[in-house]
């Protein structure tokens, strides 16, 4: 089965939006910790947890224990998306009589543990796991704990117990976001190293500073350390943890508190604070504006694609774009499923196979078997019947469903019935099969037509800009509606792939900030613009936004 990459991304986006909806209406709650664990929860609910929302007490279900119970909005939103409760019920958060309280309550279907006082969830989970072993049950226990929670001695008593009894049906996930209620964890009770100043970025990225994993290893646990916002790393970590025998596992997921909303990120203030109602629509737009960058490796050294993949990994690409050309649909040839299969063991980063080939329906299984996580086919070589077959096969295998159109092609009417369920639409901005082309400027107008159609048909996927995308035009492509950007010679053709990807991100980020400033101005004029800017306290974001607002005359 595939990674289920796009379905998880859409799930995570939806749950974050529900968290904001519930907390804003309640005027209280904990967004920071709900957002830091969003990808963790998304991967669990989509790829690992065995559950039945119509039978929440199914005996053979896996158990999910949220020990950091204050992040209950993050749990409730996932239960809603998974079908345990109606999404509208999130609006009752923290109201008298509601099943959705400030901490998880067993009255809510899907809740396994009343997480209130911190430090208890792991002990409870050890009991669940031991009971399952005694009863010869095969279900698994997943327990999410906070890093501030590790100040509690009971956690370490539970850790010793789990190791002593070789509880391998338990996986703990440490949401390592470096912030607890009062301040940064490394200023209160350091788990890694003492933090000097308020800049977490160096510590977050510098493995020489990470000591937490060593503590858990010394207690006899299998330790896996990852970036907790990378879906593919989480998926791989859960696979390894659940297959480990003879000892309990902990996944130390380095995360960012408030991830997804700039003014909340790494800011202790947003541990337990609700956004004002007039700010919520701006946050909603920001959550809808997340973006990804993917190098196209055929623009690199075709004689050493293995090295190009490694450069993408080092560059922290969101995924890797693989252009498959058969010499028939396009004049050139590149590689086929056999090469993708060779490259697949090199990394867990998602593979986006863009099939520029004739009769893709005949070959689709080969690309599934090769390990593609997203597969895109062209409308020019499909009709409703063949694409329907491709669509269903990809969905059954948890592989992202993509559709592409050439520069001189409009979306065919037969595609409209699929727009609600496809994950990716590639709008080609160069003639496929020829390298070194410049972006076709008329694509900007075409994108406006495409976006209108997509909105009319409730498209929830990602528009990918592919062809001639460079630093000078990536911002415009973002404004057109693209949220995934493929770079060939502009990224993989450069010596410093990581540096170039960082530059791409900064350019896109600037355009997103401009769009959010505009939204604030439209909703509340200069007063709301200033109010929104003032929320950005970490780093130099506030000063950058002030300069931008002055340039655009919003203040």
pLDDT digits (tens, 9 = 90+) for 520-551: 999 999 999 999 999 999 989 999 999 999 99
Question: Residue 400 phi/psi, 5° resolution?
Answer: -60, 140
The answer to whether 353 touches 465, Cβ cutoff 8 Å, is: no
The pLDDT value given to residue 436: 73
Proportion of the chain above pLDDT 90, given as a percent: 93
If one looks up domain 5-275 in CATH, what number appears? 3.40.50.970
State the pLDDT confidence band at 204, using cuts at 50, 70 and 90: confident
Domains of the chain by residue range = 5-275, 292-494, 496-555
**CA gap 436, 430 in Å, rounded:** 9
State the pLDDT confidence band at 53, using cuts at 50, 70 and 90: very high
Q: Report the candidate in 494, 432, 440 with the shortest Cα–Cα distance to residue 469.
A: 440
Token pair 């995360």 is found at 255
State the pLDDT confidence band at 182, using cuts at 50, 70 and 90: confident
pLDDT above 80: residue 375: yes
The pLDDT value given to residue 514: 97
For the segment 241-264, the average pLDDT, to the nearest whole number, is 97
Report the CATH fold assignment for 292-494: TIM Barrel (3.20.20)
Q: Report the candidate in 165, 167, 189 with the shortest Cα–Cα distance to residue 179.
A: 189
The pLDDT value given to residue 109: 98
pLDDT above 90: residue 434: no
State the pLDDT confidence band at 226, using cuts at 50, 70 and 90: very high
DSSP per-residue string spanning 133-165:
HHTT----EEEEEESGGGGSHHHHHHHHHHHHT
Distances (CA, A) of 480 to 359, 370, 449: 31, 33, 10
pLDDT above 80: residue 223: yes
Report pLDDT digits (tens) over 58-102: 999 999 999 999 999 999 999 999 999 999 999 999 999 999 999
For the segment 329-333, the average pLDDT, to the nearest whole number, is 93
State the pLDDT confidence band at 13, using cuts at 50, 70 and 90: very high
**CA gap 139, 47 in Å, rounded:** 15
The pLDDT value given to residue 142: 98
Mean pLDDT, rounded, of the chain: 96
Question: Residue 254 phi/psi, 5° resolution?
Answer: -70, 120
The answer to whether 95 touches 26, Cβ cutoff 8 Å, is: yes
pLDDT above 90: residue 206: no
pLDDT above 90: residue 433: no
For the segment 355-379, the average pLDDT, to the nearest whole number, is 98
The pLDDT value given to residue 178: 94
For the segment 312-319, the average pLDDT, to the nearest whole number, is 97
State the pLDDT confidence band at 324, using cuts at 50, 70 and 90: very high
The pLDDT value given to residue 205: 80
Q: Report the candidate in 119, 192, 211, 130 with the shortest Cα–Cα distance to residue 156.
A: 119
The pLDDT value given to residue 197: 79
Q: Of all helices (H) and strands (E), which one includes residue 411?
A: none
Report pLDDT digits (tens) over 471-498: 999 999 999 999 999 999 999 999 999 9
The pLDDT value given to residue 409: 96
């Amino acid at each position: 089965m595939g990674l289920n990459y796009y379905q998880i991304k859409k799930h995570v986006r939806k749950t974050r939006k529900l968290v904001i909806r519930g907390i804003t209406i309640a005027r209280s709650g904990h967004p920071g910790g709900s957002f830091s664990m969003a990808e963790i929860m998304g991967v669990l609910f989509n790829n690992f947890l065995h559950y039945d929302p119509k039978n929440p007490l199914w005996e053979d279900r896996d158990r999910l224990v949220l020990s950091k119970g204050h992040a209950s909005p993050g749990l409730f939103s996932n239960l809603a998306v998974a079908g345990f409760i109606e999404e509208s019920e999130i609006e009752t958060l923290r109201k008298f009589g509601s099943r959705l309280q400030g901490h998880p309550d067993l009255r809510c279907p899907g809740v396994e543990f009343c997480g209130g006082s911190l430090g208890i969830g792991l002990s409870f989970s050890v009991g669940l796991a031991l009971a399952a072993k005694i009863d010869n049950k095969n279900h698994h226990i997943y327990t999410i704990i906070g890093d501030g929670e590790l100040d509690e001695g009971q956690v370490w008593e539970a850790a010793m117990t789990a190791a002593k009894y070789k509880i391998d049906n338990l996986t703990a996930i440490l949401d390592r976001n470096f912030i607890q209620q009062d301040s940064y964890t490394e200023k209160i009770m350091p788990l890694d190293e003492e933090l000097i100043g308020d800049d977490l970025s160096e510590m977050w990225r510098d493995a020489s500073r990470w000591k937490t994993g060593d503590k858990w290893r010394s207690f006899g646990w299998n330790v896996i350390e990852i970036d907790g916002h990378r879906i593919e790393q989480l998926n791989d970590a859960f696979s390894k943890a659940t297959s480990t025998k003879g000892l309990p596992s902990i996944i130390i997921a380095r995360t960012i508190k408030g991830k997804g909303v700039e003014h909340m990120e790494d800011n202790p203030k947003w541990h337990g604070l609700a956004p004002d109602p007039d700010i919520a629509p701006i946050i909603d737009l920001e959550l809808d504006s997340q973006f990804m960058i993917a190098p196209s490796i055929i623009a690199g050294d075709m004689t050493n694609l293995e090295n190009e993949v490694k450069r993408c990994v080092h560059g922290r690409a969101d995924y890797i774009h693989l252009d498959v050309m058969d010499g028939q649909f396009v004049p050139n040839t590149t590689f086929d499923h056999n090469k993708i299969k060779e490259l697949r063991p090199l990394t867990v980063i998602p593979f986006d196979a863009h099939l520029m080939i004739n009769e893709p329906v005949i070959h689709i299984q080969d690309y599934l078997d090769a390990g593609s996580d997203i597969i895109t086919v062209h409308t020019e070589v499909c009709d409703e019947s063949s694409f329907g077959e491709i669509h269903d096969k990809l969905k059954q295998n948890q592989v992202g469903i993509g559709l592409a159109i050439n520069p001189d092609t409009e979306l065919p009417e037969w595609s409209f019935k699929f727009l609600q369920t496809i994950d990716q639409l590639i709008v080609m901005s160069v003639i496929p099969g020829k390298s070194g082309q410049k972006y076709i400027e008329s694509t900007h107008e075409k994108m406006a037509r495409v976006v209108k159609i997509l909105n009319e048909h409730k498209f929830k996927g990602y528009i990918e800009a592919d062809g001639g995308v460079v630093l000078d035009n990536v911002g415009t492509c973002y404004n057109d509606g693209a949220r995934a950007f493929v770079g060939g010679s502009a990224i993989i053709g450069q010596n410093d792939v990581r540096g170039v990807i960082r530059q791409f991100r900064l350019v896109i980020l600037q355009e997103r900030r401009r769009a959010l400033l505009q939204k604030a101005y439209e909703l509340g004029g200069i007063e709301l613009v200033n109010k929104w800017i003032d929320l950005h306290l970490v780093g130099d974001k506030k000063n950058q936004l002030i300069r931008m607002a002055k340039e655009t005359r919003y203040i």
